Amino acid sequence: MTPLAGYLLVAALLFAIGLAGALTRRNAILVLIGIELMLNAANLNLIAFWRYGPHPEALTGMMFAIFSIAVAAAEAAVGLGLVISIHRHAQTADLDEMNRMKG
C-alpha cells in the first residue's frame, strides 16, 4: 500500500460520504455541504497526484487544485444564495417539498 493509494482511498471515501450526504439529506444546505465535500475529495486527489506524480515542479495539479478551490468558493456562494432565495419563496429548505419542476 503506497501513500498515494492511501490518499486516493481517503479521497474516494470522502467523495462517497459527500455523495451520500447529498443524496440522503433533506435539507438543501446539507446537500451543498455534501457537494463541497465531494469537491474537496477531488482536490485531495489532485494534490496527491501532484505530489507523487512524475513532474511535481510543473505545478499543474497544484494550480488545478487552487483554481478548483476558487471555483468551489464561487459555487458555494451562488448555491447558498439560491437556497436562501428558494427558502424565501417557498418558506422551506426541504428538498422533498421542492418538486415544482415536476414533469
Partner 1 sequence: MSFVFYILAAITLAGGLAAVLLKNMVHCALAVSIAFAGLAFLFLGLDAQFAGFAQILVYVGAVAILVVFAILLTRSSDTPKDGGVFSRTWLAGLVVAAAVFAVIGWAVLSSVGGLPHEAAVPTVTVLQIGQALMGPYVLPLEIVALLLTVATIGAVIVAIHEKEDAK
Partner 2 sequence: MIEEAVFTPQLAASPIAGILWLVPALPIVASGVIALLKQPRRKAAASFSIGSLACSLVLALVAFAHVLAGWMHGQAVRETVNFTWLHAGGTNVDLGWVLDPLSAVMLVMVSFVGLLIFIYSIGYMEHDENFTRFFCFLSLFAGAMLGVVISNSLLLLFMCWELVGLTSYLLIGFWYQKPSASAAAKKAFLTTRVGDIFFLLGMVWLFSQTGTLLFYNGGAGSMEPGALAGLLAAPAGLGLTAAGAIGLLIFAGAAGKSGQLPLHVWLPDAMEGPTPVSALIHAATMVAAGVYLIARVYPLMQAGALTGGTTVALTVVTWVGAATALFAALIAVAQNDIKRILAYSTVSQLGYMMAGLGMGGVAVGMFHLITHAFFKALLFMGAGSVIHGCHEEQDVRRMGGLKGDMPLTFVPYAVGMLALSGFPLLFSGFWSKDGILEAAQHWDLGHGPFYMLVCGALLTAFYMTRQMSYVFFGNWRGQGHAHESPKVMTMPLAILAFFAIALGALGTPAWPWFRAFLDDRAAEFSFEGFHEPGLLALMATSSLVVFLGLGLGWWVYGNKSPQAEEPDALESAVPPVWAVLHNKFYVDELYGVTVIAFYSGWARVADWLDRWVWGGAVTLVAVLFRGGAHLSRLCDVYWVNGGFDKGCEELANGGGLLARVQSGRVQSYLRLLALAVVVLAAILIWSSRG
Binding site for partner 2 (CB under 8 A): 19, 22-24, 28, 31, 95-96, 98-103
Closest approach of Cβ 103 to partner 2, in Å? 3
The listed partner (partner 1, partner 2, none) that binds 103, CB under 5 to 8 Å by sort, is partner 2
Select 55 or 103, whichever has its Cβ closest to partner 1: 55
The listed partner (partner 2, partner 1, none) that binds 99, CB under 5 to 8 Å by sort, is: partner 2
- Which does residue 65 touch among partner 1, partner 2, none (CB within 5 to 8 A, set by kind)? partner 1
Q: Which residue has the cell 486527489?
A: 45
User: CA 20 to CA 92: how far, in whole Å?
Assistant: 22
Chain CA centroid to CA 41, Å: 7
The residue among 29 and 62 lying less far from partner 2, judged by its C-beta, is 29
CB atoms closer than 10 angstroms to residue 39: 19
Distance CA 40, CA 70 (A): 12
CB of 31 to partner 2, least distance (A): 7
The three-state secondary structure class of 54 is: coil
CB 101 within 8 A of CB 31: no
